[in-house]
Amino acid sequence: MDNTTMDNTTMDNAYTGENNTAGVNNMTIVNNITGISNTAAVADDAVDFEWISRATDIGIWIELYPTPFIALFGIVGNTLALIVMTKGRNRTLATCNYISALAIVDNFQMINMVYYWLYSYVTRSTVTIAVCQAVIFLANLWQECSIYLIIAMSVDRTLAVKFPLKKSIWCTVERARKVIALVIVLAILRNIHFIWYAYPATIDAERNFALCSGYESPVDAPGRVLSWIDTLVQSIIPTVTLLILNTLLIGSIRARSKVSTQMTTDQKKRKHSRDLTVMLIIVSFSVLIFTLPINVAVVIYGIIGIDLTNIGTFLIVHAITDRLYFMNNAVNFYLYCMGMARFREQVLSLIRKLTRNSVTPAAEGSGLEGPATRQTGLIDPSSNAQLATGEMAE
pLDDT digits (tens, 9 = 90+) for 66-82: 999 999 999 999 999 99
Neighbours of 88 (CB within 10 A): 16
Tell me which DSSP letter residue 126 carries: -
42-51, 212-221, 290-299, 361-370, range with the lowest pLDDT:
361-370
Residue 136 inside a domain? The answer is yes
C-alpha 41 chain-centroid distance? 37
CA dihedral 355, 358, 359, 365 (to 10 degrees): 120
Q: How many CB atoms lie within 10 A of CB 121?
A: 18
Strands 3-4 and 32-33: parallel
pLDDT per residue as tens digits for the range 177-190? 999 999 999 999 99
The pLDDT value recorded for residue 366 is 45
Residue 165: CATH number of its domain: 1.20.1070.10
Residues 6+ apart with CB under 8 A from 123: none
* Closest-CA residue to 181 (of 295, 98, 293, 269): 98
pLDDT for the residue 202: 53
User: Residues 79-87: contacts with CB within 8 Å, 24+ apart?
Assistant: 79/103, 79/107, 80/333, 80/347, 80/350, 80/351, 81/332, 81/333, 81/336, 82/107, 83/350, 84/343, 84/346, 84/347, 84/350, 84/368, 87/346, 87/350, 87/367, 87/376
The DSSP letter of residue 235 is I
The answer as to whether 370 is a domain residue is no
Q: How confident is the model at residue 358 (pLDDT cuts 50, 70, 90)?
A: low
Total number of domains constituting the chain: 1
- Whole-number pLDDT of residue 242: 92
SS3 content of the chain, % helix, strand, coil (to 5): 70, 5, 25
> For residue 371, is it within any domain?
no
What average pLDDT is seen over the chain? 76
- Between CA 227 and CA 215 the distance in angstroms is 8
Residue 208 has pLDDT above 70, yes or no: no
The beta strand positions in the chain, using DSSP E, are 3-4, 32-33, 199-204, 209-213
pLDDT-derived band at 261 (thresholds 50, 70, 90) equals low
Distance CA 207, CA 190 (A): 35
β 199-204/209-213 pair status: antiparallel
Predicted confidence (pLDDT) at residue 132 exceeds the cutoff of 70 = yes
Give 123's pLDDT tier (boundaries 50, 70, 90): confident
- In a domain, residue 364? The reply is no
Decide if pLDDT at 342 tops 70: yes
Indicate whether 197 belongs to any domain: yes
Residue 391 lies in a domain: no
Percent of residues, the chain, with pLDDT higher than 90: 31
Q: Which of 97-106, 306-315, 367-376 has the lowest mean pLDDT?
A: 367-376
Name residues whose C-beta falls within 8 Å of residue 283's C-beta, 6 or more positions apart in sequence. 150, 153, 332, 335, 336, 339
Q: For 334-356, what is the mean pLDDT?
A: 88
Question: Does residue 234 form part of some domain?
Answer: yes
123 or 150: whose pLDDT is higher?
A: 150
The residue range of the domain holding 40 is: 3-356
Inter-residue contact 306 to 36 (CB < 8 Å): yes
